[in-house]
Structure 1
């Protein structure tokens, strides 16, 4: 196997009647996977973030309190958090560790996650879950900032145009925070669309 290749399978679950397609990824990330393969996996995850995503598999991450002891595990958690991905499995699956996980980038899409025993003589559990289509049809009147479509380059430019040393000169922490807090929404309006 190529050092930069990942053991993953990606497919698109097509629906009818105007429902959104779901990109589904199944990955195996062995404990000794090389850095190049990790980078390739993170690239695949980032590439699918504009789509409705369900990612599952054996990712060799002990998922507890959203923290990791090992550098590689921390990098994976950073990728998950940077791409606004939620972990849906709640029960330990192997000797108290949560290795076989179900991730999604749409709240309310995955539900009823259950362990269903092992298949044959495997030491992994079968994880059963449902994708909930109704969550996609709900419409909220509450608008929020859509950080996935934000133009971060313009946001940096707008913040960089301000001479902060001069703007905050002679001000205490609270007063400086208020000045910054007034500037931030103006910049957000220009760079981050609402949904």
Structure 2
């Protein structure tokens, strides 16, 4: 499945590149679906080309055994947005709908029917709300950490500690199969926005069926009103998230994370020997080595002499339950620092 766009004033070279891509996709011996705005002036009902570029395009589709399935205008009176498939029976309920946002092109909607293999998921997640945390604490208190960690390197100590924690978690927190949820609903998609979208679709269908100028005039403002309502609700939702970040920072950063288009990982890195380092532990060691190299090396043989303080001494340090609670209440849960 692929999406293509051919600019209106494309030259012959761009046309040949597009034909090559289509031919390559069709040679793989699999079901092929290609859709997009091809900007081709073709009479698709009679398969008649209006020029040499269109004729070459039709020949390319015939060689790839691709059938063009859109038979209604998608921009004014022209069929520019196409759906190509070498198994046309798999394309169901193809409809040319209202304009997309502020675009002068119509939405082309269809269902792709295919057999989905049922695969049982083995992924399990922890049920943290059902964990036996009292049992975990009692189990961890039985461990002599000093005895189990003595004589080991930092990495060995970490692996020992991590192994114990993971084993305890496995024994005291139950698991369940991960539920794969369906379509993700936009959080700002309110009832009012949904009604605007439905009204826009209804007005388009009425105008398309009747062909009357007054119906098209009634539809004209619907996309603009819907776009304005969506923008307003999105701004309101983002404003509520931002204003409540002190009390609910998780929702704010979850929304920001979902808006990111790309997730960039660290690495690979190049070590001193010029080799690429790709493993997580090796990358961490290279970063640690670099950070340690910029530290200031203190001259331990020439330490300053500390003079005894001549001020008043205080032998009384009072730590009360009330003072500790006061400090805890002042912690900012959304930040790592006070």
Q: Where does residue 19 of structure 1 map in the other structure?
A: none
Determine helix, strand or coil for the equivalent of 2:88: coil
Separation (CA, whole Å) in 1 of partners of 2:75 and 2:97: 13
Question: Higher strand fraction: Structure 1 or Structure 2?
Answer: 1
Q: Where does residue 89 of structure 1 map in the other structure?
A: 70
- Structure 2 residue runs of 5 or longer lacking an equivalent are 116-338
Separation (CA, whole Å) in 1 of partners of 2:38 and 2:103: 16
Higher relative contact order (CA 8 A, sep 6+): 1
Runs of 4+ in 1 over 2 A off after TM superposition: none
Count of residues in Structure 1 that have an aligned counterpart in Structure 2: 111
**1:116 partnered with 2:93:** no
Determine helix, strand or coil for the equivalent of 1:52: coil
Question: Higher helix fraction: Structure 1 or Structure 2?
Answer: 2
Q: Where does residue 54 of structure 1 map in the other structure?
A: 33
Q: CA deviation at 1:116?
A: 2.1
**1:73 partnered with 2:54:** yes
Q: CA deviation at 1:76?
A: 0.6
Separation (CA, whole Å) in 2 of partners of 1:100 and 1:86: 14
- Structure 1 residue runs of 5 or longer lacking an equivalent are 1-23, 135-195
Determine helix, strand or coil for the equivalent of 1:30: coil
Whose Rg is larger?
2
Q: CA deviation at 1:129?
A: 0.3
Q: CA deviation at 1:122?
A: 0.2
Q: CA deviation at 1:39?
A: 1.0
Q: CA deviation at 1:99?
A: 0.5
Determine helix, strand or coil for the equivalent of 2:57: helix
Which of 80, 85, 93 aligns to 1:99? It is 80
Q: CA deviation at 1:57?
A: 0.8
Which of 24, 28, 31 aligns to 2:8? It is 31
Per the normalisation by structure 2, the TM-score is 0.32
Residues 64-111 of structure 1: CA deviation (Å, up to 9, x unaligned): 111111111111111011111011112111121110011101131112
Q: Where does residue 133 of structure 1 map in the other structure?
A: 114
